[in-house]
Amino acid sequence: MTTTGEARPPRRLGRSALAVLAGLAANVVLAMLADQLMYALGAFPRPPAISYATVPYIIATAYRAVFGVAGSWLAARLAPSHPMRHALVLGGIGLVLCTAGLVAAFKMDLGPVWYPFALLVMTPACAWLGGVLGAKR
Protein backbone atom coordinates (compact mmCIF):
# COMPACT_ATOMS: atom_id res chain seq x y z
CA MET A 1 0.00 0.00 0.00
CA THR A 2 1.17 3.49 -0.72
CA THR A 3 0.75 6.39 1.63
CA THR A 4 -2.41 7.38 -0.24
CA GLY A 5 -3.93 3.97 0.40
CA GLU A 6 -3.79 2.85 -3.25
CA ALA A 7 -2.55 -0.63 -3.95
CA ARG A 8 0.50 -0.81 -6.19
CA PRO A 9 0.57 -3.46 -8.91
CA PRO A 10 2.96 -6.31 -8.13
CA ARG A 11 6.34 -6.22 -9.81
CA ARG A 12 6.51 -8.65 -12.67
CA LEU A 13 10.23 -8.97 -13.10
CA GLY A 14 10.03 -12.59 -14.24
CA ARG A 15 7.49 -11.83 -16.96
CA SER A 16 9.51 -8.82 -18.04
CA ALA A 17 12.68 -10.88 -18.34
CA LEU A 18 10.82 -13.57 -20.29
CA ALA A 19 9.39 -10.97 -22.66
CA VAL A 20 12.85 -9.60 -23.44
CA LEU A 21 14.36 -13.09 -23.73
CA ALA A 22 11.56 -14.17 -26.08
CA GLY A 23 12.25 -11.16 -28.29
CA LEU A 24 15.99 -11.91 -28.28
CA ALA A 25 15.42 -15.60 -29.02
CA ALA A 26 13.05 -14.79 -31.88
CA ASN A 27 15.58 -12.41 -33.38
CA VAL A 28 18.48 -14.89 -33.10
CA VAL A 29 16.53 -17.93 -34.30
CA LEU A 30 15.04 -16.10 -37.29
CA ALA A 31 18.48 -14.78 -38.29
CA MET A 32 20.04 -18.24 -37.99
CA LEU A 33 17.27 -19.81 -40.06
CA ALA A 34 17.56 -17.11 -42.72
CA ASP A 35 21.36 -17.56 -42.81
CA GLN A 36 20.95 -21.30 -43.31
CA LEU A 37 18.43 -20.69 -46.08
CA MET A 38 20.87 -18.32 -47.81
CA TYR A 39 23.63 -20.96 -47.55
CA ALA A 40 21.31 -23.64 -48.94
CA LEU A 41 20.33 -21.37 -51.85
CA GLY A 42 23.98 -20.60 -52.56
CA ALA A 43 23.49 -16.87 -51.94
CA PHE A 44 26.07 -16.91 -49.13
CA PRO A 45 29.43 -18.70 -49.25
CA ARG A 46 29.70 -21.59 -46.80
CA PRO A 47 31.72 -20.94 -43.65
CA PRO A 48 34.59 -20.80 -42.94
CA ALA A 49 34.97 -18.99 -46.29
CA ILE A 50 35.01 -15.23 -45.86
CA SER A 51 33.52 -13.16 -48.63
CA TYR A 52 33.78 -9.45 -49.17
CA ALA A 53 31.06 -9.43 -51.83
CA THR A 54 28.62 -6.64 -51.01
CA VAL A 55 25.28 -8.19 -52.01
CA PRO A 56 25.16 -10.98 -49.38
CA TYR A 57 25.89 -8.46 -46.63
CA ILE A 58 23.18 -6.10 -47.88
CA ILE A 59 20.70 -8.99 -47.91
CA ALA A 60 21.72 -10.01 -44.37
CA THR A 61 21.47 -6.41 -43.16
CA ALA A 62 17.96 -6.11 -44.58
CA TYR A 63 16.57 -9.25 -43.00
CA ARG A 64 18.31 -8.58 -39.71
CA ALA A 65 16.59 -5.18 -39.61
CA VAL A 66 13.22 -6.87 -40.12
CA PHE A 67 14.01 -9.47 -37.45
CA GLY A 68 15.18 -6.73 -35.07
CA VAL A 69 11.84 -4.99 -35.42
CA ALA A 70 10.00 -8.32 -35.03
CA GLY A 71 11.93 -9.26 -31.88
CA SER A 72 11.29 -5.87 -30.31
CA TRP A 73 7.63 -6.08 -31.29
CA LEU A 74 7.40 -9.46 -29.56
CA ALA A 75 9.12 -8.16 -26.42
CA ALA A 76 6.71 -5.23 -26.32
CA ARG A 77 3.65 -7.42 -26.88
CA LEU A 78 4.64 -9.87 -24.15
CA ALA A 79 5.60 -7.14 -21.68
CA PRO A 80 3.38 -7.05 -18.57
CA SER A 81 3.64 -3.22 -18.60
CA HIS A 82 5.69 -0.48 -20.28
CA PRO A 83 6.02 -2.20 -23.68
CA MET A 84 8.36 0.43 -25.13
CA ARG A 85 10.75 0.01 -22.20
CA HIS A 86 10.98 -3.73 -22.91
CA ALA A 87 11.64 -3.15 -26.61
CA LEU A 88 14.36 -0.63 -25.79
CA VAL A 89 15.97 -2.96 -23.23
CA LEU A 90 16.17 -5.53 -26.02
CA GLY A 91 17.69 -2.83 -28.22
CA GLY A 92 20.29 -2.17 -25.53
CA ILE A 93 21.19 -5.86 -25.47
CA GLY A 94 21.46 -5.70 -29.25
CA LEU A 95 23.81 -2.72 -29.00
CA VAL A 96 26.11 -4.65 -26.67
CA LEU A 97 26.12 -7.65 -29.03
CA CYS A 98 26.66 -5.47 -32.11
CA THR A 99 29.51 -3.65 -30.39
CA ALA A 100 31.16 -6.99 -29.66
CA GLY A 101 30.72 -7.93 -33.32
CA LEU A 102 32.26 -4.66 -34.44
CA VAL A 103 35.25 -5.12 -32.14
CA ALA A 104 35.69 -8.68 -33.42
CA ALA A 105 35.51 -7.44 -37.02
CA PHE A 106 38.37 -5.03 -36.32
CA LYS A 107 40.49 -7.65 -34.55
CA MET A 108 39.87 -10.60 -36.90
CA ASP A 109 39.28 -10.91 -40.60
CA LEU A 110 35.52 -11.56 -40.52
CA GLY A 111 34.42 -9.65 -43.59
CA PRO A 112 33.77 -5.98 -44.25
CA VAL A 113 33.69 -3.77 -41.17
CA TRP A 114 30.75 -1.74 -42.53
CA TYR A 115 28.42 -4.70 -41.93
CA PRO A 116 28.66 -4.89 -38.09
CA PHE A 117 28.76 -1.08 -38.03
CA ALA A 118 25.49 -0.95 -40.00
CA LEU A 119 23.92 -3.42 -37.56
CA LEU A 120 25.09 -1.27 -34.64
CA VAL A 121 23.62 1.90 -36.16
CA MET A 122 20.25 0.39 -37.09
CA THR A 123 19.65 -1.48 -33.81
CA PRO A 124 18.16 1.45 -31.83
CA ALA A 125 15.82 2.37 -34.69
CA CYS A 126 14.64 -1.23 -35.06
CA ALA A 127 14.04 -1.51 -31.31
CA TRP A 128 12.12 1.76 -31.28
CA LEU A 129 9.96 0.79 -34.29
CA GLY A 130 9.23 -2.65 -32.82
CA GLY A 131 8.30 -0.99 -29.53
CA VAL A 132 5.95 1.46 -31.24
CA LEU A 133 4.24 -1.33 -33.18
CA GLY A 134 4.11 -3.62 -30.14
CA ALA A 135 2.69 -0.96 -27.86
CA LYS A 136 -0.41 -0.61 -30.05
CA ARG A 137 -2.76 -3.02 -28.38
pLDDT exceeds cutoff 90 at 60: yes
pLDDT grade for 7, boundaries at 50, 70 and 90: low
The whole-number pLDDT of residue 49 equals 75
Query: How far apart are the C-alpha atoms of 30 and 63, rounded to whole Å?
Result: 9
0.85 exceeded by the pTM?
A: yes
pLDDT at 1: 47
Residue 75 to residue 91: CA distance in whole angstroms = 10
State pLDDT tens for residues 75-120. 999 999 999 999 999 999 999 999 999 999 889 888 899 999 999 9
Mean pLDDT of the chain: 91
pLDDT at site 21: 98
Whether residue 123 is predicted with pLDDT greater than 60 in this model: the reply is yes
**5 has pLDDT over 60:** no
Which has the closest alpha carbon to 63: 86, 41, 92, 85? 41
Assess whether pLDDT exceeds 80 at residue 133: yes
